[in-house]
Amino acid sequence: MMPLSLLVAGPVADALGVRFWYIVGGSICILMTLAAFFIPAIMNIEQNHQIETQAVEP
């Protein structure tokens, strides 16, 4: 993902400034965190993993 993100970040930072890119990048990270907070499968990933491993073990 790093090469792809650099393809986006470089031109945006050149065109709009590094400060703007940090604000946009930080905002995207915060929005993704908030979205993941409301997805039950992500919030319960540890419990789901334990249930799956218990079901597989003999």
Query: How does pLDDT run across 26-46, given as a tens digit for each residue?
Result: 999 999 999 988 998 888 888
Question: Is 5 part of a structural domain of the chain?
Answer: no
In a domain, 54, yes or no: yes
Q: Which domain holds residue 36?
A: 25-58
Q: Residue range 10-35: average pLDDT? A: 92
Is residue 2 in some structural domain? no
In a domain, 40, yes or no: yes
Query: How many whole angstroms separate alpha carbon 44 and alpha carbon 56?
Result: 18
Q: Is residue 38 part of a domain?
A: yes
Q: Which residues contact 43 (CB under 8 A, 6 or more apart)?
A: 36, 37
Tell which wins on pLDDT, 53 or 16. 16
For the cut 90, the answer to whether the pLDDT of residue 48 exceeds it is: no
Percent of the chain with pLDDT over 90: 41
The answer to whether residue 39 sits within a structural domain is yes
| Rounded Cα distance, 47 and 58, in Å | 19
Whether 58 shows a pLDDT value over 80: the answer reads no
Higher pLDDT, 4 or 56: 4
